[in-house]
Each structure stands twice: as C-alpha cells, then as structure tokens.
Amino acid sequence: MNFLSLIWLIFLPVIAAIIIMFPQFPNHQVIVRRSAKWFASFHFIYALLFLAFFDTSLFGMSYEKELTFFGMSWLKSLGISAKFAVDGIALLLVVLTTFIVLITLFISKIHIRSKHKLYYAMVFLLESSVLGILCAKDMFLFFVFWELSLIPIYFLVSQWGNSEARRAAIKFTITSFVANMFLFFGMLILYYYNFAVSNVLTANIESLNMDEKIYPLWFQVTVFINFLIGFMLRIPFVPFHNWYPDIQSKAAAPVNILMSGIILNTGLYGLIRFNMQVFPEIFKLFAPVLMIWGLVNIIYAGALSICQQGIKKMVSYANISAAGFIMVGLGCLNQTGFNGAIFTAIACAIVYSALFVVISSIQFRTKTTYITALGGLGQVMPKCMYLALIICFCAIGLPFLMMFTPKLMVLTGAMLSNLDQQLMVKIAAITGLCAIAVSAGYIMYFFYKVFCSVLLDQWKKIKDLSPQETSVLSVLCLVIIYFGIYPMSIIQIYQSVSSIILDVLQV
Amino acid sequence: MSEVLSAQIAQIAGAYFPELIITLFIIFNLIAGQFFSTYLYKLSKWFTILGIVLALCSTFYLQIEPEAYAFNDTFLTNIYTVFFKILILISGFCLTLLSRNMIREKRDRAFEYFAVFLSGILFAMCVVSSVDFISLFVSLEALGLSCYLLLSLNKNPDAKQLTFGYIIQNAVVSSLFLMGLSLIYGMCAQTNFDLISLYFSQNQPQILLTFAMILMLCTFLFKLGLVPFSSWLPDTFEGASHPIGAYMSLIPVLAGFGILSRILLIFLNYTFTIKIVLASIAVLTILFGSLSAIRQENLKRLMAYSMSVQSGIMLLGLCVFSVYSLSSVLFYLFCYVIATIGAWSAIILLYNSAKLEKLDDLKGVIYHRPYYVIAFTTILIALAGLAPTCGFAAKLYIFSAVARSGFIFLPFLIAALVCCVIMIYGYWRIIRALFRRIETQIEIDTRVISSKFILYACALATVFACLFADKIIQLCQLAAYYM
C-alpha cells in the first residue's frame, strides 16, 4: 500500500488551502465552495482507505513515515524528527476528523456569506493541524501542530461570528497560549530529564516511556500536572471550561460543528498519549481523583445547561457534561472502561455535531438562538423535528443508538473496577447512573422548548429543511443508528491498542 | 620583496578583509558626495550595496582555521566572528534597500547618510571582533557615534527632543564602562581578554571584580535595551526615521550579543550569582517590555518594545552559558534578524505610501493588499515564536537550553514562558488590525520593488528556516564551539 502515506494525508489540506488562496484561483463563491467540497470528499475517502487496509490485530503503530527535507530530518541535532504514525485510536479519530470536515463544508453554504477563500483555506488548515496532532510521533511535533491549530480557530471564530465573537476568540486564544506554556514547560523538562537519565537526546513519545526508567516521584507529578492542565483546557474540563460555551454561542454555525467535532477530541487524545502512556504510575495514583472530577463535570455542567438562555450554550454545556463520562471511563483503569471512554469521545463528537447542525438550521431560519423566542417549531419543521428526535434520544443514551453502548461500558467498567478505594468508585458509578437521568433532563428540556411548546406567530412562515440539510442530517442519523446496532465495528479497531495500554496500567 | 608583500596582503585579507572593503566604500561615498551632490544621489545607494556585497563575498577569503589575529592581538577572526559579520552585512544590505524613500527626501545628504550608515556597520563588525578592552571601547563609542548621527538626520524638532535622551544616556553609560575598565586594569594591568582570564585564574579574584563587571554590563544592558536601561527605546524609535529605527534594532543588538558572550566568558567563572542576576534581568525585561507593548498604538514604539523583549529572551539563553545555549542564542539571533527586517519593511511600506504609522491605520489594508497582509502576518507569527515559522524552532531551542542547564533556572523559565504569552498578545493586536474589514482609502504603494521584495523574501525565509532549521543549527553549533 505505497499510495497510503500519512504525510500526504496530513499535508494535502495545506496544499488545498494554498491553492485556494492563490491569486489565480477564481474568486467566485460557487467555484470555491464546490472545489472545497470535492477535495474534502476525496480526502475523506483517502482516510477511509487507511482504515480499510488497517491491520486491527497489530499492537503497535502502523503506517510509519518520516518527513524529510531533501534527505535531512527536521531538527535532527536536537533529537527531534518529523515522524508520523497512527495506532487504532488515532486512526479512528483521523477518519472522524475528515468526516466532520466534510459535513461542515456541506452546511457552510448558507452560513458563510463573505470571504469564501479565507474561510475554506482556514478550515483546511485546521483539518491539517488536527491530523498532525493525531499522527505526530514526536513530542515537539505534536506541540507544533497543537499551537498551529489555534491560528485557524482564531480566524474562524472571529471573522464569521457575531459582533462579540472577536472578543471571545481572543480570550480563548490567550488562555490557550497560557495553558500551552504549561504543556511546553512540561515537555521541555521531560525532554531533558530523559536526556539526563538515558543519555539519548530524543523527543520520541514511545522512547520517553516512564515505566523502564527511574524518575523521582515529584518530577513525574510535576510534569503530569503540567500536561493535565494543557489537555484539560481542550476537552474542556470544569475549572477550565469557560471558553467553550462562550465561543460556541458567538461563532458561526459551521465553526460550532468543527469545535465540538474535532477540537475537543485532540485534548482527549493528548491525555491518552501523554498522561496515560508516559506516566502510567502517576495515572494510577490520580485515577480516583480524575474519576471524581469527571463526575463533578457531569453534574455541574449538566445543571448549568438547564439554566441557559441560548440553545447554543445549552448544547455546549451538555457537551461538556458528556465529556465527563470520558474521564470516568479513563479513571476505571480496566479494559471495559477504557474502551467505553474512547467510544464515548467518538460518539460525543458525532452526536453533538449533529445537534449543532440542527441548531444551525434553526438559527438560519429564525435568526435567533434564545430559548424564549423559540417554540413549537415542530409544527412547521417536521422533518427537522424527527431527525432531531433521533439525535436527542441518542444523546440521552437510549438503546440501539450510538451513545448507549459507551455509557453502559463506562458504568460497567466503574462497577468492575478494582482500584484501592473500592467503595468510593462504586459510589461514583452509581452517581454516574443518576447523572444519565440529569442528561435526559437537559436534553429533553432543550427538545421540548424548541420543537414542542406553543408556536409563535412570527415563525409560522418558515420553511422545513432543504434537501441538502436533510441529507446531511440523515447521514448523521444513519451513522448514529448503525453504530448503535453494531458497536463492535468501532471497538475492534482499537481493542488491541487499548489492551497494550491497559497492560501497563493494570493494577 | 614581492613574496613578503603578498604574504602581508594574505595576512590582511585573512584577518580584516570585509572591514577594509567597507572602509574603502565609506571613503568613496564621502568623496563622491563632494562631486555628485543632488542629481546623482542614487549613486550613493549603489555604492553602498556594492560595498556590502563585496564585503560579503570577501568573508569567504577570511582565514578561520587557525584563528587569525591582527593589530597586536586586539582583533580576532574565527568562525564565530564571521557568523556575526555575515549577519551584520545581510541586515546592512536589506536596510540599504529599505532606505530608498528616506534618501529621496534628503537628496543633498544621501552620500553623507550612507557614509555614516556604513561606518556603523564597520564598527559593529569591529566590536564583534575585539578581544581587547581598549579596541572594544573605541569601537563601541564609534558605533554609538554613528547612531547619534543617523538619529539626528531627522529634522523634526520633536524628534530631536525624543532622541536626545539616547545620546545623554549613552554618554553616561560609556563613562561607567570606562570606570569598570579602569578598575580591571588597576587589578591586573592587562586589557587583553585572554590575559585577564589568565591573570584571574592564577590569582584570587577580589570583590572589586564583581563591581567592575557590573559597571561594564551596564553598557550592554543599555545597548540591548534590557530592563533598568530600556527607557530610551520607545522615545528614540519614535523620533527616528523608519529605516534608522530598523538600523537601531538590528546593528547594535548584533554587535552587543556578539561581544557580550565573549565578556561573560571571562567573568562567569568567578561568580555564579551574576547568572541569577542576569536571568532576573532577562525575565523582568520580558515582563516589562511585553506589558508595555500591549498598550502601544504607534507601530515604531511597539517595535521598540518588541526588540526589548527579544533581547530579554536571548539574554536568558546567554546567561546559562554553555556551548549548547550559546548556539541557541546564535540561532535565535538569525531568526530575529529575518523577522525584524521583515516587520520593519512592512511598516516602511505602509509609511512610504501614506505617511501612516499608527496601529489603527492598518485596518482595511486587507481589502487592497491581501498578500501584504499574509506576509506581514507570517512575520509577526515568527516574532511571536509560534508554530510554522523559524520563531518557534528558535524559541524551542533557546528554552530547551535553559531547561537543560539545571533546576535553578526553572523558575525563570516558567516566568519567561508566561510573559511570552503577553507579548504574543502584543503581536496579535497587529494581526487583528490587519484583518479588520473597514472601508479605507489607504493604498499601499507597491511600486517600490525593493521593500516589497524584502518583505516577501523574509516571510518565505521564516518558513523555510523552520523546515531547514537543522542545517542552520549545525552551523550555529560550529560557530559557538569555536568561540
């Protein structure tokens, strides 16, 4: 399979962005949009080919490739090289990323009314940087893409959002830079401590593994906490979550989908790659704390979700709340919980992106997102209502829909977990079970307020979904139903990898 | 007889060939100024470019293996000094091209301007090559003098007032340097760097040495715009014409770092606390400079604080002092030169077309000149030290050198990292203004091929220097090793 090169996969969007930004490229919106869609479709199929040829029984990384410049590695004298490789988890997220970008481009038509060239170039740049984060095999390469992703986010939020978007974007960018500095600091001291211990100057993530080397405990804890702060901001987690609803309520609708679909996953991926794989001992130490933290996240963000006035903020808080399940799953330290956590992340990305697609159609027609100004839209938009119903049921976690299996796995994992503080973990699992009821509360409250109550006069003339929106939402619903019925088709892809990770962590 | 002569010529060519060429062209410029005056004022620019290009070529003929000494062992040529000389000459070349509009306005003084300009470059190269305190002092003073003359070219009375602070402070600081020098001479009766180190390695250094060192460091803190002496920066830059602002942010910085590392090499063996002091100064500079930069509305003032912050980062790398950290500083300087020339060329393009220099004036430019905006943004990202440009590689290298040097410097590292974020916001304000869509009448004049060429070349160079960073880093490591 020589034609499957990760370097092409990562840098094709950059090339596409450069071609679109070229002065000779026609500045006509239809041409720009269509060529972007064609490219994204091609890219998605290319990513699917990686999945098709992927050997699921393989325990390590595959598709390894190094980027060289005329035969020279990048920063070889510092022990840093531009190596890319994927394992099962990363590959799933890669395919998910290309899929979400494709979905986003299909609904961009009605929301993006100006600066088409810049918009599509920035979406592709964001896609490329996220793919780079997922495939990077080197710590500093990871960080390069991690910082690079902030630049397109800033432009996407500030240029096409509402009047307050600029302020929200700058706030997010600055807080991210501060958190990134913690990350960077952790990486730097890890890099040099590793050099001091093993006398090899390297930043390769696999060779930084802590289990074979002797590091002082305080050092591990320091680096672990630095990493944790950097990644928690992206997931987002409760003390650092403020930026997420803020940005989501102000950005344009396609950007909402990108944020919930691809940006949040990068935080989770970093957590697994670094905190879990590089510091298994410390992760074991912190696991109960993370679990409780996840529960606090579920309940606190869920409660906030019900209090919101805008539907975008409501769904964003719901998203944060659902991300709490990921942490509970990771904290179980067993196969069931871990697999459930990864599945939760993927399901969250698809379900909440779908919810943002629904919101985007509503926002486009009514020009408002305030919950008091909406109501009874189900009477004029029946297609939208039925599709949204499936998505909402999925978000709650009803059986045969995508979110059911992961939540079940996470809670089973928590019950089966044999951590030191057994009683506490069991209590946590039971609390999590109750938390599902909370999630049913806010999701159904959202659905009821938007689609079911009394129809206001000014909305009587709005039209139902266009064929394009219907097809996008139907595809998403089909995905939700398919993976609800055959969850193993996702789980088997990363099962071997997760068993490797868990072998190290197993108590 | 001829053999002796050719041997002498070879020795001269081996040690100070570029300086000699630049001196010749200073004389050419001065003589030509008497004959050609206003009509052929453009000739001055071509003379200067020719001189700098010839000097650049002549650096290949320098004798670097083994090191060459000249003028009674006061002047040294090796890979390290050649590295600095090439950087100085490249920035001189770009600055000559950027001076186009300025000499159009002052046609009668064009030859004079370039003579002073070239002498600044000459003395900067001499500063880098000095291995003796006397020659160092003379070169530093002459460099300062060239800067005064360039600054005083601006006839605006406000500008005179603004730049006067620089002249006074420079005089004070020079006298401090002289005082420190006299103390050292009093202790060991030597002025040569090697002999001084030899003396202190054999005799127990006195407390007076620390005092002398602090007095001497004041000069460099001043020239590089570091914290207790950075107050001159914004006013001087605001008063100076644009190409001279660029000149002030490049040539003295290159000369200063070139010689500062050599002086620290003598002193750092005897006192460890000075490392901590320098690291604190570096962090305070980054903090102070970035906090001031985010309030500025004038682009020149912003660039002044930017220079201060960048020198702070480089000082943090330098005070750790190992071969590794020195090479990281050299790499950072390389990236700093590219990015700073690019940023100044963008500002000069804006000023030349509409006489605008405020940050708000950049709003709406994206309508007319999207590629100008993209190039400027790339360069600002490089200055901020973010991902796809050489600024990131440089920052990574310099901070990794600090992290490597031991746990004592870790608090400074954290503080510096956090302060850098503030400066990122400072640069971000420019980017934000560039992408604002407001209807304006500003048209950036793109007929000036040379400034535009430099802008786009620098924008590309920042990206390519990141991709091919390994090659440049190897070069820097070689240069640092030879020091």
Among B393, B403, B418, beta carbon nearest to A189: B403
Q: Is the pLDDT score of A27 beyond 60?
A: yes
* pLDDT cut 70: percent of chain A above it: 98
The DSSP element (H or E) to which A379 belongs, if any, is: helix A377-380
pLDDT above 90 (res A425): no
In chain B, what's the furthest Cα-to-Cα distance? 75
B371–chain A Cβ distance below 8 A for any pair: yes
Asked if pLDDT for residue B358 goes beyond 70, the answer is: yes
Closest CA to B347 of B372, B328, B324, B370: B372
Query: Are A195 and B418 a contacting pair at CB < 8 A?
Result: no
ipTM of the complex: 0.85
The answer, for B432 touching chain A at a CB cutoff of 8 Å, is yes
Percentage of chain B surpassing pLDDT 70? 98
Residue range A166-216, pLDDT digits in tens:
889 988 988 998 899 999 999 988 888 888 888 888 888 888 775 566 778
Listed range (A238-242, A482-486, B124-128) with the worst mean pLDDT: A238-242
Q: Do A148 and B404 touch (CB under 8 A)?
A: no
* pLDDT (0 to 100) of residue B371: 85
CA-wise closest residue to A178 among B46, B274, B425: B425
Is residue A507 pLDDT above 60, yes or no?
A: no
Residue A353: pLDDT over 70: yes
Average confidence (pLDDT) over A466-489: 93
Q: How many CB pairs under 8 A join A and B?
A: 75
pLDDT of residue A371: 86
DSSP state of A79: T
Q: How far does the CA of residue B74 sit from the closest CA of chain A (Å)?
A: 34
CA distances to A182, B211, B271, B275, B448 from B206, in Å = 42, 9, 11, 18, 58
- pLDDT for res A123: 95
Closest CA–CA distance from residue B29 to any residue of chain A (Å): 43
pLDDT digits (tens, 9 = 90+) for B74-125: 888 888 999 999 999 999 999 999 988 888 877 778 888 899 999 999 999 9
Region for A429 from its dihedrals, namely left if φ exceeds 0, alpha if ψ lies in -120 to 50, beta otherwise: alpha
**pTM to 2 decimals?**
0.90
Of B374, B387, B469, the CB nearest to A75: B469
Closest approach of A77 to chain B, Cα-based (Å): 6
Cβ contact A72–B471 (<8 Å):
yes
Compute the residue count for chain B. Answer: 483
Sign of the CA dihedral running B50, B56, B61, B63 = positive
Choose from A7, A20, A66, A74 for mutation: most chain B CBs within 10 A.
Answer: A74
Separation of alpha carbons B394 and B420, rounded Å: 13
Give residues with Cβ within 8 angstroms of B414, minimum separation 6: A185
Name the 3-class secondary structure at B355.
coil
CA angle B252, B254, B260 (to 5 degrees): 90
**What confidence score (pLDDT) does residue A189 get?**
87
Which chain A residues are closer than 8 Å to B374 by Cβ? 21
Chain B CB contacts of A177 below 8 Å: 421, 424
Domain spans in chain A, listed from the N-terminal domain onward: 298-507
Task: Choose among B388, B403, B471: nearest Cβ to A148.
Answer: B388
Chain A partners within 8 Å of B425 (Cβ): 170, 174
- The secondary structure of residue A72, as a DSSP letter, is B
Residues A295-329: pLDDT tens digits?
A: 888 889 988 988 888 899 999 999 999 888 898 88
CB contact under 8 A, B424 and A177: yes
